[in-house]
Amino acid sequence: MLTKKQKNLLIFINKKIRSSGISPSYEEMKNSLNLKSKSGIHRLISALEERGFVKRLAHKARALEVVKLPENASANDIFNTFTPSVIKGGLDKNDNKSTDVSVLGSIAAGTPIEAIQQEVDRVALPEDLQNNGEHYGLKVKGDSMIEAGIADGDTVIIKKVSNVDNGQIAVVLIDDQEATLKRVRKKGNTIALEAANRNYGTKIYAANRIKIQGKLVSLYRNFH
């Protein structure tokens, strides 16, 4: 049984790692709990380590790995809340100030589906993303990224890149034939593809089976 401070610190560490790929600094942890000194953080981490909730990573200074979360943790505790840049009002295809980008079909946010390569529509690229690399759109099918703010029917805007940071949401190609939208975790020679829905499991692949097709930068949502 964890104390309230232990649980709050564990959840804070988990969300920080999931959002940025790195564990928070002692200063960040101290501020998150409104503690006056870092010595209290040292004691809390030691207690979490003794109970098997976190593990210190030997190859990095002060780096932590969350091994497990409390059984009574909520979905918002488990999944960091990705707040997408939602273009209000839905798809505005007549915005003369915007550059159009191709929508290349549907991407599963659940079970991987065949990679899409054919243009099925065009949408306006948000002005703040113009002149900042090459982009394309995909229609989301499924609910496995719902806890990250990505719903079935959304159109995600993807920036074409071949590599992403740990914890970023990306379009990945599996075995050159299946594409899916997931949070990417790299560890050694493996890559884990994480859903943001507790009803879906994490799938782990050899790194050479995965190709990054781009990272999520924004999304459109139609409001009815």
Q: Which tokens is 212 given?
A: 């990054």
Set 7, 30, 139, 182: catalytic member: 182
Q: What percent of the chain has pLDDT over 70?
A: 78
Of the candidate ranges 46-50, 72-76, 145-149, the one whose mean pLDDT is the lowest: 72-76
Single pTM value for the model: 0.59
Summarised one tens digit per residue, pLDDT across range 75-123 is: 445 444 444 444 443 444 444 445 788 888 888 877 666 666 677 788 8
CA distance 109 to 1: 35
Find the catalytic residue in 144, 159, 215, 218: 144
Domains and CATH numbers, the chain: 4-70 (1.10.10.10), 88-220 (2.10.109.10)
182 or 15, which is more confident: 182
Tell me the pLDDT tens digit for each residue of 4-57: 899 889 888 887 776 666 788 889 999 988 888 888 999 999 999 998 888 887
CA-CA distance, 81 to 85, in Å (whole number)? Answer: 13
* Mean pLDDT of all residues belonging to the chain: 79
pLDDT computed for residue 82 by the predictor = 45
Known catalytic residue at 144: yes
Report d(CA 219, CA 224) in Å as an integer: 16
Helix, strand, coil percent values for the chain (each to nearest 5): 20, 35, 45
Residue 19 a catalytic site member: no
Predicted confidence at residue 62, as pLDDT, reads 63
